[in-house]
Structure 1
Amino acid sequence: MEHVRVEATGTGNYLDPRAYLGLLPSLSAELPPGARAFAADPDHYNFSGKRCVKDLVLDTLERGTTDGEDWLRLGFRHNCWKHEEDLSIRYIGLSSLAAVPAGWTGFGPVTLDEILPREQGCSHEIGFLAGSLTVLSRDLTATWTEADCPDK
């Protein structure tokens, strides 16, 4: 990630989105509308917020084409200790998808993410405990839906 810091330490990870959050007001005007709304959500980087992406787990990846335009949907499961909702992100006008490592299993929970404006729309890099995904698309739509936490 260019501005969000995610660094392994001897006891866990150091996560710091402050540099990105400082730039976000100026970046917002260049982001497509859906990406802007998702990135600017006040809970997005609030570690105690119900809609913080930290600790979500990727459980669905779907790709397709509608009306000649490629799309991708990533589904993230909640963590019952923190979240009350699952997250689905639909990317429209998909240009590329890159995973590190190249496999699709074992990423673990999300650490943090970063959305940046790009000529063709936006890039969305999602960091996980054991890898990352980077999506380039025309725009994205993030949708939160009620989760099935039995104790809530």
Structure 2
Amino acid sequence: MELIKVEWNPEQGGFWIDPSAYVAELPKLVDGLPKGARAFASDPDHYRFGGPRCIKDLELIGASWAGDGDTRFEVRFGPNEWKHDTGLVIRYAQVSDLHLAAPGASVDDLGPVLLDEILPAKHGCSHEIVFIGGTLSISCADLDARWE
């Protein structure tokens, strides 16, 4: 991630996460984001850690390609029982790049979401999601995120 900090802190035995630089820069970035990405990234609850619309602590429950020439990709997240009322589905349009870095044995070992970062890109936006056990990075024309 470029602006969001996610670092292991051995003294605390957990991750130190800080979205403040991204949140401060977001007003300058939103005009460069496509419509769906802009709405998702600028949601006031997106980085409010205790809020029901914060991506932190969601669990990946599925991902699949859909549509013409595998250019649409969908990721489904289950809610954390202690803070989310619903899960989250993100649908990516015109995917140009997808990269999963999962040093664990499988995608099942990714664990909960720590944070994500959406940035403008040449052909739309990039979306990086950091889990406890890996990272998912997607470049696309736009995304549609719905709590359902």
For each residue in 1:61-97, what CA deviation from the matched residue of structure 2 results, as whole angstroms up to 9, or x when unmatched? 010223x571000000001111101000000011111
**What percentage of residue pairs aligned between the two structures are identical?**
47
Q: Does 1:143 align with 2:146?
A: yes
Q: Distance in 1 between matches of 2:25 and 2:48?
A: 16
Q: Does 1:71 align with 2:72?
A: yes
Gaps of 5+ in 2: none
Structure (1/2) with the larger strand percentage: 1
Q: Distance in 2 between matches of 1:60 and 1:20?
A: 27
Structure (1/2) with the larger helix percentage: 2
Shift of 1:105: 2.6
Give structure 1 regions of 4+ aligned residues with deviation exceeding 6 angstroms: none
Gaps of 5+ in 1: 146-152
Q: Distance in 1 between matches of 2:111 and 2:36?
A: 26
Q: Distance in 2 between matches of 1:26 and 1:65?
A: 33
Question: What's the TM-score, normalizing by structure 2?
Answer: 0.94
- Residue in 2 that maps onto 1:7: 7
Shift of 1:104: 2.5
Q: Distance in 2 between matches of 1:32 and 1:110?
A: 23
